[in-house]
Amino acid sequence: MKKKHPLDIDHAELTDKHIRLRKIGFFLALAVAVGAFAVGIINVLHVEHGWSEIRADDGSGLNCAGDFTLQIELGAASGDAAAERRLAIQVYTRAAVKAWQLFTPDMEIADMVNICWLNRHPNQTFEVDPVLYQALQSSSEAGRWLYLGPLYEMADSLIASQNDLETLDFDPREGGDAALMLQTILPFVQDPDAITLECLQDNHVCLHVSEKYLTEAEAWGIQRLIDFSWQKNAWIADYIASSLEEAEFTAYTLASRDGYVRSGPGEYRQTVYGWKDDQSFLLTDVLYQGACAMLTLRRFPLGAPQEDGYYIRQDHAIRSRFLSVADGLDHPAADAAVLYRKGAGCAELLMTALPFWIEGKSWDGMDENDHETELLVIQENSIEPVSVRTLKWEVPGML
């Protein structure tokens, strides 16, 4: 008898009945698979009408979208929510990438004159993008905060410190080299003859810097002669908002993590926080109506201090980037301030607030000269409505 090899397979005959059953089973399985695939595709492609968060394309490279949250009411413009979502992502991504490139003080970008390029090429005239030109012109006309670049650079290092010992090299209040640098550099920051940005016609600018200042800057290893620092998101918010509106998106809210908000027509709610026992807490909710800009300034962080741009010392003192041109130090005028104006931009509100928030002017003075801006000042966890005309305030009963 022949032994069966392990690989030998016995022959089995299939009847017509077996073949028919197999065909039926195959086609049933195929139908189920096709149906499941179709349902999956529909679920992926289907976009609900209504409010939805829009995120920038992950593959777009460096951009500033991480600083913002964008909500859009999909389907409000054309009725095609899926098409609007695709367009919104494209518009948002393109604007977020361009804004990051224009305002970064630390990296030159090919074929672009940005803040970094201007810092590295003083006393030369260049044409800049209209978005950057408008920001440079507005800031330089409003005051000299743009020229605090070297001190913002030092403040960034202070905020990045891991402990109080590390801050000694970067905190002018603690003396040492940081205090000496402040004493040396601040007079240049304050002096128009030492440094001035000239805005010329047709989006051309020239950063004029004296030889004496350039020598000192080189000696101190200064890279940033000008910088928007914590203020840059005001102009970026306005640019992204205008990009959305040009693409015919009107029902939207754009909010940055550092307090800049742009909204289209509608009614919205903004949470205002206080600070107590080294932590933030909900103080009140503000109901407001767009289209508008809102600006919330806080001397304290909401989340992780360093991520929000603050450093909290062991003695509970808070350091920030809210630097004054008068003395180069940070001493915001209140725990928080909320400004709101219909039909305005964030940059416009910021330029209105800076003399009061940074330089110590009385908030009452703003109300005398500005009859369009609504203002709340929060001090020691109490709310002082300097001007209330169109806003509604909801204050928790326990306060």
Query: Residue 35: which residues within 8 A CB-CB, separation 6 or more?
Result: none
Asked, as a colleague might, if the bond just before 291 is cis with ω within 30 of 0, I would say: yes
Query: Residue 23: which residues within 8 A CB-CB, separation 6 or more?
Result: none
DSSP secondary structure letters along 282-321:
EEEEEEEEEEEEEEEEESS-SS-HHHHT-EE-TTS-EE-S
What pLDDT score does 18 carry?
A: 56
Written as one letter, the residue type at 18 is: H
Site of tokens 């919330």: 296
What pLDDT score does 379 carry?
A: 78
Integer angstrom CA distances of residue 143 from 138, 196, 266: 9, 11, 34
Sorted by where each begins, the domain ranges of the chain are 50-102+230-299+334-394, 104-227
What pLDDT score does 387 carry?
A: 45
Residues of the chain with pLDDT under 50: 1-12, 14, 38-39, 41-45, 387-399
Q: What is the DSSP letter of 252?
A: E
Q: Which CATH number fits domain 50-102+230-299+334-394: 3.30.70.890, 1.10.10.10, 3.40.640.10, 3.10.520.10?
A: 3.10.520.10
What pLDDT score does 371 carry?
A: 64
Site of tokens 């307090």: 259
Which pTM does this prediction carry? 0.85
Interhelix angle 176-190/211-219, rounded to 10 degrees, is: 160
Q: At 183, phi and psi to the nearest 5?
A: -65, -35
Q: What confidence tens digit (pLDDT) does each residue in 330-377 have?
A: 999 889 989 988 889 999 999 999 999 999 888 776 655 666 788 888
- CA angle at 198 for the pair 114 and 194, rounded to the nearest 5°: 100
Q: In 159-316, at which residue ranges do the beta strands (DSSP E only) sit?
A: 195-199, 204-209, 252-256, 260-276, 279-298, 311-312
**Alpha-carbon distance 55 to 71, whole Å?**
9
* Three-state secondary structure call for residue 99: helix
Q: What is the DSSP letter of 390?
A: S
Q: At 195, phi and psi to the nearest 5?
A: -155, 130
Q: What confidence tens digit (pLDDT) does each residue in 366-379 have?
A: 655 666 788 888 87
